[in-house]
């Protein structure tokens, strides 16, 4: 026994992960508090929520006032009425608690990025690295409690190194909610076994054996515990002590590249937003530089005090971590943020990041440096005028003129094949071929005269035809016979005849202009 105890403490001396901190929030009367918030006249009324179960109304949730009078969830509503004739019973909606909890979880993301729903009436926050922004854990917890209580919720809160301990102290603790790093064992010792989140029958069996507190069995040989109570008790115990990893399932996945800036006073001016943006970009880019990454997409979110989120988004043509450049891009969109009554929290996120090797290669390769400046210019253009305004073309392996170029996907993409130059191509190509009327002396010969937009043109010189077939595997259609035509004034055109003379008079089109 002595040996075991020694062993246990030794492990506790070095917790699994020093940096992790969790906050558990327990809403003791979640739905009833919400009802009072909606209908303040219910404040002094004793009421419960009940739902039919096996032909009787069973109490599902009780208000704080009802609980004081000894009414517990699980009692039959009719029995409660006999105890307390003034009791009001409302119908319970099963989904209400979940929805409410989800909304609260979203609201709580102002305290920490990773918020998970814990059971039917609680939240679990991974607050690692967050409390110092509020000036310490004590102030942090105080802020959470004060804000939630100001909404009218009865809450209990605890902070600890592990999810298990935070939950246990939150639900059953009676001294301090602030469990310092590595102090899980001390915090758990005096708590009842139910604090370990184990099934009711195990708790019952433990209590039958007189093990009313965790300290009664924490140092028992593990083999004995496993044999008598099953493996789940040991797992829960290990999780609470931090010897087994327990993962949180946040309602929104945490974006790894995120910076937050809570404000002391609500921000309402554009200047204020600019300062916040600059500060956040500085820290974000510093971090990106450390990890030699650059962002491709950036979200700037402003949480207003009325609970709405205003956000602006930018994208870049190549990974960037240039503060001034990113600031300029986001600055263009600041007028889109409506501060309304004020903004209390700013968050900057980089959901898409890519590797960006450090400035070393720009030092060696000036072309690369030029590219960066051009990419920044293009970002500015696409940011203001839309992504579809900028194009760069690469050759595509098609003869059909409209398909012979494709749009490059990135600034660095190089042509996979050579540009074809053996046949003449017009410097101006019409987006859609335009119909013309022609006078042709002999079939299969170039025209001698054509009318384009009502104006006649006399053909002086002609070249062709160059036959371009439709690609049957892509589309059906007739081939085109292209002619280079020069009129008597020297202007040069690219005309084509669609199909041949076998099936009636073929149509002629103007498709481009040569230089």
Partner 1 sequence: MLHAAAKNDIINQLKREVCSLQGFKRPGDNTIINRLGPIEAAFPNKIFPTGVMHEFISPDIKGAAATNGFIAGLITGLSFSKGTCLWVGNKRTVFPPALKAFGINPEQIIFVDLARQKDVLWTIEEALKCKALSAVVGELSELSFTESRRLQLAVEQSHVTGFIHRYNPKTENVVACVSRWKIRSLPSIIEDGMPGVGYPRWKVELLKVRNGTPAAWNIEWMNERFQYAAEQTLFISDKRKAS
How far apart, in Å, are the Cα atoms of 216 and each of 162, 192, 212, 348, 385? 21, 10, 7, 49, 70
The CB-of-407 to partner 1 minimum distance in angstroms stands at 10
Contact indicator for 438, 460 with CB cutoff of 8 Å: no
The C-alpha atoms of residue 489 and residue 492 are separated, in whole angstroms, by: 9
The CB-of-258 to partner 1 minimum distance in angstroms stands at 31
Kind and range of the H or E run holding 159: strand 155-160
Nearer Cβ to partner 1 (247/367): 367
The CB-of-442 to partner 1 minimum distance in angstroms stands at 14
User: Of 244, 162, 232, 247, which is closest to residue 197 (Cα–Cα)?
Assistant: 232
Phi-psi label, residue 440: left if phi above 0, alpha if psi -120 to 50, beta otherwise: beta
Nearer Cβ to partner 1 (265/422): 422
The CB-of-361 to partner 1 minimum distance in angstroms stands at 16
The C-alpha atoms of residue 342 and residue 362 are separated, in whole angstroms, by: 42
The C-alpha atoms of residue 359 and residue 42 are separated, in whole angstroms, by: 65
The CB-of-447 to partner 1 minimum distance in angstroms stands at 14
Phi-psi label, residue 499: left if phi above 0, alpha if psi -120 to 50, beta otherwise: left
The CB-of-427 to partner 1 minimum distance in angstroms stands at 4
Nearer Cβ to partner 1 (26/496): 496
Nearer Cβ to partner 1 (242/401): 401
Nearer Cβ to partner 1 (67/317): 317
Residue-wise over 260-273: b if at least 16 C-beta within 10 A, else e? bbebeeebeeeebb
The CB-of-314 to partner 1 minimum distance in angstroms stands at 16
Nearer Cβ to partner 1 (126/376): 376
Nearer Cβ to partner 1 (83/385): 385
Q: Which DSSP letter does residue 178 get?
A: B
Contact indicator for 430, 453 with CB cutoff of 8 Å: no
The CB-of-491 to partner 1 minimum distance in angstroms stands at 4
The C-alpha atoms of residue 188 and residue 193 are separated, in whole angstroms, by: 9
The CB-of-381 to partner 1 minimum distance in angstroms stands at 6
Kind and range of the H or E run holding 56: strand 56-62
Nearer Cβ to partner 1 (245/491): 491
Nearer Cβ to partner 1 (225/390): 390
Beta strand 56-62 pairing with 492-498? unpaired
The CB-of-398 to partner 1 minimum distance in angstroms stands at 11
Question: What string of DSSP letters covers 43-69?
Answer: GG--EEEEEEETTEEEEEEE-HHHHHT
Residue 122 sits at φ, ψ, to 5 deg, of -145, 165
How far apart, in Å, are the Cα atoms of 94 and each of 50, 55, 80, 417? 10, 17, 21, 63
Contact indicator for 374, 325 with CB cutoff of 8 Å: no
Phi-psi label, residue 394: left if phi above 0, alpha if psi -120 to 50, beta otherwise: beta
Nearer Cβ to partner 1 (72/389): 389
The CB-of-458 to partner 1 minimum distance in angstroms stands at 12
Nearer Cβ to partner 1 (255/408): 408
The CB-of-389 to partner 1 minimum distance in angstroms stands at 6
Nearer Cβ to partner 1 (395/499): 395
Residues that bind partner 1 (CB under 8 A): 369-374, 377-378, 380-381, 384-385, 389-395, 401, 404-405, 408, 414-415, 419-421, 424-431, 460-463, 484-486, 488-492, 512-515
User: Of 21, 1, 3, 5, which is closest to residue 13 (Cα–Cα)?
Assistant: 5
Kind and range of the H or E run holding 313: strand 309-320
The C-alpha atoms of residue 418 and residue 482 are separated, in whole angstroms, by: 22
Neighbours of 58 (CB within 10 A): 19
């Amino acid at each position: 026994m002595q040996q075991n105890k020694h062993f246990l403490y030794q492990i506790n001396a070095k917790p699994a992960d020093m940096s992790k901190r969790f906050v558990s929030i327990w809403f003791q009367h979640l739905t009833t508090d919400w009802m009072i918030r909606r209908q303040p006249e219910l404040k002094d009324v004793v009421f419960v929520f009940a739902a039919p179960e096996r032909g009787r109304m069973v109490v599902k949730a009780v208000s704080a006032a009802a609980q004081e009078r000894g009414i517990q969830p699980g009692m039959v509503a009719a029995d409660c009425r006999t105890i307390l004739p003034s009791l009001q019973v409302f119908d319970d909606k099963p989904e209400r608690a979940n929805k409410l909890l989800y909304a609260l979880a979203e609201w709580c993301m102002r305290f920490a990025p990773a918020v998970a729903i814990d059971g039917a009436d609680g939240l679990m926050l991974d607050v690692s690295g967050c409390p110092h922004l509020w000036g310490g854990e004590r102030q942090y917890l105080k802020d959470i409690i004060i804000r939630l209580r100001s909404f009218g919720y009865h809450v209990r809160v605890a902070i600890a190194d592990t999810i298990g301990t935070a939950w246990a102290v939150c639900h059953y603790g009676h001294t301090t909610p602030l469990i310092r790093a590595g102090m899980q064992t001390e915090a758990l010792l005096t708590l009842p076994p139910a604090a370990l989140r184990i099934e009711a029958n195990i708790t019952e069996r433990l209590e039958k054996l007189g093990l009313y507190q965790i300290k009664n069995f924490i140092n028992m040989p593990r083999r004995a515990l496993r044999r008598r109570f099953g493996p789940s008790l040991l797992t829960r115990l290990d999780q609470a002590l931090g010897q087994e990893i327990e993962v949180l399932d946040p309602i929104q996945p945490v974006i790894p590249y995120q910076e937050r800036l809570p404000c002391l006073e609500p921000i309402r001016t554009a200047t204020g937003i600019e300062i916040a943006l600059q500060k956040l970009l500085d820290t974000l880019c510093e971090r990106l530089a450390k990890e030699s990454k650059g962002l491709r997409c950036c979200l700037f979110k402003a949480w207003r005090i009325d609970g709405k989120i205003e956000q602006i988004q930018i994208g870049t043509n190549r990974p960037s971590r240039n503060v001034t450049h990113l600031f300029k891009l986001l600055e263009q969109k600041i007028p889109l943020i409506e501060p309304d009554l004020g903004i209390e929290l700013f968050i900057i996120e980089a959901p898409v990041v890519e590797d960006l090797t450090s400035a070393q290669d720009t030092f060696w390769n000036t072309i690369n440096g030029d590219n960066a400046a051009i990419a920044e210019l293009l970002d500015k253009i696409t940011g203001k005028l839309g992504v579809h305004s900028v194009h760069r073309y690469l050759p595509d392996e098609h003869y059909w003129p409209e398909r012979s170029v494709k749009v490059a996907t990135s600034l660095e993409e190089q042509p996979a094949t050579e540009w074809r130059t053996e046949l003449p191509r017009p410097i101006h190509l019409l987006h859609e071929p335009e119909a013309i009327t022609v006078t042709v002396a002999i079939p299969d010969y170039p025209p001698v005269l054509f009318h384009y937009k009502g104006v006649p043109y006399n053909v002086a010189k002609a070249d062709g035809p160059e036959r371009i077939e439709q690609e049957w595997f892509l589309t059906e259609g007739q081939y085109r016979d292209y002619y280079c035509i020069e009129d008597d004034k020297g202007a040069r055109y690219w005309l084509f005849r669609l199909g041949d003379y076998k099936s009636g008079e073929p149509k002629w089109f103007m498709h481009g202009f040569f230089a």
